[in-house]
Amino acid sequence: MNPLEELDHGIQQHLGETVFGLHELIHALIIAVVARGHALLEGPPGLGKTLLAKSLAAALAGRFTRVQGTTDLMPADIIGTHVFDEASRKFTLHPGPVFTDVLLFDEINRASPKTQSALLQAMEERQVSLDRQTYRLPPAFLVIATQNPHEFEGTFPLPESQLDRFMMRIEVAYPAGEDERHVLEHYGTIASVEGPAAGAAIGTTLGPEAIAAARACADRVHVSNEILEYILALARASREQAQIALGLSTRGAIALLRAARVAAGLRGGEFVTPDDVKRVTPWVVPHRLALTPEALLEAVHGRDLAATLLERVVVPR
């Protein structure tokens, strides 16, 4: 078992004590973490998106902060602000919650577009600019955001530039019958309202060293020229699709390559196959496709167009 598989097994085991029936979603989050990408969890309220994000943050054994998306949230509430210190007669930075290892932005689409844009530089460059000064964020900086479907009341659509900075958008659906029964049995008592303690049952095998070893393992996975051409062909096809106004960006193609590389390592593979690319495409591509007005009127979904791209592009041998 390689370091990637060990990390996947350890996190699945620990998170399985607090969330139920979400093995595939946890697998996707692990890919995002190892590939140094940010993750967006989307689904109706009350399905455990926040609990899943908190549990994963605890498993990563780093500093953790949380921001609750509201309409009156301001950029300074995320980045921080300079405050005049009477003792030193200087302005000092009071850092906001963005200065952390794992930032959970709960219900991000309830924040205004102005506030959402405060994360653009942080998510791409892992640094923030404030009052003509630039501050570096921790090397392990990771954003896990949750959002309700856009048609819900009091939400704002995320700008295309911010969606493109999320490596993955993971849809959280209603649990299967047996899984939902386990949830009721586990959280049906009054005492369970307090929830699991932060960092509970987290072993040392899930710390920064394990993540670094997993990333090194992923970098050793070979990517052939044929796979590179396959990913480039998918990107070009998305830009030529009639129902897509804005196709896959270069950043999106890089994210697809990195995610496929990690997916290959998680199955114990030494090289990336087209099946690895196909597996991660539903998480990496659909949210990056801006549809034409006609496609929106026809209620076409990005995941359907992503599936069409996989059918049309010739798979390399």
What CATH code is carried by the domain that includes residue 14?
Answer: 3.40.50.300
Residues spanned by the domain of 189: 3-195
CA-based angle 146:143:281, to the nearest 5? 75
Q: How far is CA 299 from the centre of its chain?
A: 25
Owner of token pair 């990333």: 215
Residue 119 lies in a domain: yes
- Can you give the CATH number for the domain in which 256 is found? 1.10.8.80
Which pLDDT band, with edges at 50, 70 and 90, does 223 fall under?
A: very high
Residue 48 lies in a domain: yes
Query: pTM of the predicted model, to two decimals?
Result: 0.88
Closest to 47 (Cα-Cα) out of 21, 72, 68: 21
Q: How far is CA 165 from the centre of its chain?
A: 9
Residue-wise pLDDT for 265-309, tens only, equals: 999 999 999 999 999 999 999 999 999 999 888 888 888 999 999
DSSP structural state of residue 72: T
Same domain, 190 and 255: no
Whole-angstrom distance, CA of residue 78 vs CA of residue 97: 6
Same domain, 132 and 266: no
Is pLDDT at 98 greater than 90 in this prediction? yes
Q: How many domains does the chain have?
A: 2
Whole-angstrom distance, CA of residue 175 vs CA of residue 301: 22
Residue 150 lies in a domain: yes
Residue 209 lies in a domain: no
Q: Are 247 and 43 in contact (CB under 8 A)?
A: no
Closest to 69 (Cα-Cα) out of 118, 35, 32, 9: 118
Residue 211 lies in a domain: no
Burial class, 316, CB count within 10 angstroms (exposed 0-12 / middle 13-18 / buried 19+): middle
Residue 265 lies in a domain: yes
Which of 148, 179, 195 is a domain's end point? 195
Which of 177, 195, 213 is a domain's end point? 195
Same domain, 182 and 38: yes
Residue-wise pLDDT for 151-194, tens only, equals: 666 778 888 889 999 999 998 888 888 888 888 888 887 766 65
Q: Are 26 and 64 in contact (CB under 8 A)?
A: no
Q: How many CB atoms lie within 10 A of CB 209?
A: 12
